[in-house]
Amino acid sequence: MSITPQEALQRTIEHREIFFDEMVSLMRQIMAGEVSPVMLSAILAGLRTKKETIGEIAAAATVMRELSTKVVVPPPNDNFLDVVGTGGDSTHTFNISTATIFVAAAAGARV
C-alpha cells in the first residue's frame, strides 16, 4: 500500500505506526529523491519521537538493501576483513579502526 510523505508525517505526529508496506513505499520515494529534505527531516524526527517500530526499521532496511550496489568479490572470497566506523567524532580522538585496516593490510589481510 502506498503512503504520501504528508500521511507518514501525520502518523508520526499521532504516534501511529507506518505499516511495513507503507514504509517500503515511503522509503522508495525517499531513495528516489522524491521527498524534500525538509519533509524527510520532519518524518525522521517524528519517527524518532514516537519510537520506530521493528516493522518500520525492517521495511527501510529492505529498501536500502534492494537499492544497494552489490559488490562482486572474486575468489577466494572467504578471508576478508571489514572494519567499520564513522571515522570521526566531536572529541577529535584518534580513530583506531582506521589505523587497524592499515595494520591488517600490511599483515596480508584482504581489507
**pLDDT tens profile 60-109:** 999 999 999 988 877 776 677 777 766 666 777 777 777 888 898 899 88
What pLDDT sits at residue 79?
73
Q: In angstroms, rounded to a whole number, what is the distance separating the alpha carbons of residues 105 and 1?
A: 47
- Mean of pLDDT over the chain: 90
User: What domains lie within the chain, and their CATH numbers?
Assistant: 5-67 (1.20.970.10), 73-111 (no CATH)
Q: Is this model's pTM higher than 0.75 or not?
A: no
| Alpha helices by DSSP H, the chain | 5-13, 20-31, 37-50, 54-67, 96-106
